[in-house]
Amino acid sequence: MSNLLSDYLNQETMRAKVKVENWQQAGKIAGKLLVEKGTIKPEYIQAMLELVMEKGPYIVVAPGIAMFHARPEDGVNSIGLSLITPQDGVIFNAGKKDPVKLVFVLAAIDNNSHVELISDLTRLLRNEALQEKMIKADTVEQLVKIIENYENNKEEK
C-alpha cells in the first residue's frame, strides 16, 4: 500500500497560516495549489465555489474542517488533495462547526478511485491531537512532518 496522504499532501499542495478574508478566498487559494500542479483546471475552482453557494456549507464535514470538491467533469485531470490552514480560521456559516481551520480541496476522477485517500485522511483527522498539531503548524515543513510521522506510525500498527 502506498503512503497515500504524503503522495498528495506535500510541499507543493499545502500552505500554513494563510491570510484569508472569507470562505471563497480560502477555496480559491487551496484550489490554486492543485491548478499549479496540473491536477485540476481553473474552472474546477469556480464549480466548487458555486456548489457551496447553491447548497450551503455542506462541505464543512466536521467542526473546523472543510472539504471543497466538485464533479470530475468540472475540470479534474488527476486525483488530488490540497490543504491550507487559515491564519485565523474562516467562517462558512456552518453554525457550531465554524470557524474552519483546515481547508481541503479534493479532486476526484471518478466515484471510487479517491475512496482510499479519503478514508486515510479521515483516520488522520479523527486523531484530535494530530488535527490540533496541523492547525497549530506555522510552516508547510511542519505540516509535511506531521503527515509523514502519522504514516510511519500507522505502518507499525
Which residue numbers are catalytic?
Answer: 69
SS (H, E, C) 14-66: EEEEECCCCHHHHHHHHHHHHHHHCCECHHHHHHHHHHHHHHCCCCEEECCEE
β-strand pairing of 65-68 with 14-18:
unpaired
Q: Any idea what DSSP says for residue 98?
A: P
DSSP run (H or E) holding 8 = helix 4-8
Strands 14-18 and 80-86: what pairing?
parallel
> And the C-alpha cell for 121?
485522511
